[in-house]
A and B are shown apart, each in its own frame.
Chain A
């Protein structure tokens, strides 16, 4: 730090300050944003009837990079993990329930991680939302594109077999 020019240090300092002062959570989807609602929630070309539920804001960046999803998002900021003391009250499930109750939503896509804890979260949300008559789906698990079968680990292969599809 001692060797960098003063203006660079000032830029870094103000960038850190900006994070503190300008970044907040979107009041609708809880993504991190500078303006509330966030750009995804303001974008009218995005289907408001489709909500993709993720664990972390970074997951949105990954999903959006794939450019295959044109709906809205919801960030839970965690997953159910009793060992870490995370239950339904510690992650933002209630906000999701409110959004679905408002009635516009046709489908909720659970894009939590394919870990035990991610599955627990997906199942919990599914049970919570099913009385409301909304369709709840889960991201498929299977083989990565461009992979070589002999290098795939057994668990992934077993899952891919379970989730096979008609041609």
Chain B
């Protein structure tokens, strides 16, 4: 798929702007703090209905109008997809004093109002940022987020299961606490155990499948980008354990019953702790570089390449499941790579319908300039196309 028009109004530092994008490579050049990252964040937000950076919706509304009567940011795009064209609109209402107008997001898909969760993945995208290195070297939370944002774009059932799971965990944790205080009996757990295990089955099955694909693709890209010097392996580590190398792939019912068995054996400890000790909220996946755990043993450069390989693997996962290309967004990641790795990334991305790349340093990436179909200057919240040098 590819975006042919994007409109932003009162979003971050953009007052009002319309960009017509090209198929192929679109390059955005600008000094720091002019709005390059905001532009890619906007597309990522249209795709996932979540910001890659902001903590509250009010952060997304242009500051000048935040105290006005209608503090509303609008994002809108027109997309050509193999599954039919898409007109996607998101309105973000910042803080409000009028109880008639709740703060939050309003979404329209081809003119029809939708719940935000029903609009996730209508536009599919992969976002590369300089923080991606933390997927490899950071805490498990970031690896779970990598998985969640990838899978929920293509699997509506996964997103639903995640939402239900979070609610069940909350209810179940307070029930466990009440049992510990002898205000409830452990017989009341059975419904919540069932619901927890059911949602877990869906989530863990989808994660295992996605990681199966990611592992193969990431290994391929790592080998290619490092010219055969480094290898990466990715392995799912569900919190309930029990995933052996010898295991043939298991289905969601099998995951559900494994989860139930795990809950059974953890019963006393869970009541003691007053919280749910196993399940998707404690999952992780291991990343090994050249056979050693990537966090402590690899160099920054190796970690960075592995992170890049994981994002490329994400792009090819989405392409496989959708039978359409996701829009690829690279936020300032190419200027930190050497020329060979940069070429390796670009050669792979050539096979995607549309890629958007930002850079503050066009002289370092002249090779991209010559490849780009569309070239733009971003300055103080204005985007202008330029031809020639």
Contact = CB atoms under 8 A, between A and B. Distances in A.
A72 B295 CA distance: 64
A116 B195 CA distance: 9
B253 interface: no
Interface in B151-189: 156, 160, 164, 167-168, 170-172, 174-175, 178, 183-184, 188
A38 B361 CA distance: 79
A154 B113 CA distance: 12
A123 B172 contact: no
A48 B168 CA distance: 36
A87 interface: yes
Which of the listed residues B112, B160, B188 has the most CB atoms from chain A within 10 Å of its own CB?
B188
A150 B112 contact: yes
A81 B160 CA distance: 21
B67 interface: no
Given A87-B183, A116-B167, A82 B191 contact: no
A88 B187 CA distance: 11
Interface string A77-90: 00011110101100
A117 interface: yes
B146 interface: no
A80 B174 contact: no
B156 A123 contact: no
A155 B160 contact: yes
A116 B188 contact: no
Contacts of B172: 82
Contact of A116 (B168, B174, B175, B190): B168
Interface string A109-124: 0000000110110011
B118 interface: yes
Which of the listed residues A81, A82, A124, A150 has the most CB atoms from chain B within 10 Å of its own CB?
A82
Interface string B228-260: 000000000000000000000000000000000
Contacts of B118: 153-154
Nearest to B184: A87
Contacts of A82: 171-172, 174-175, 178, 184, 188, 192
B170 A83 contact: yes
Nearest to B195: A116
A124 to B, nearest CB: 6
Contacts of B297: none
B188 A124 contact: yes
Nearest to B163: A155
Interface of A: 80-83, 85, 87-88, 116-117, 119-120, 123-124, 127, 150-151, 153-155, 158
Interface of B: 112-115, 117-118, 156, 160, 164, 167-168, 170-172, 174-175, 178, 183-184, 188, 190-192, 194-195
14 contacts: A82-B175, A82-B178, A82-B184, A83-B171, A85-B178, A87-B175, A87-B178, A87-B184, A116-B171, A119-B195, A120-B192, A120-B195, A127-B190, A153-B118
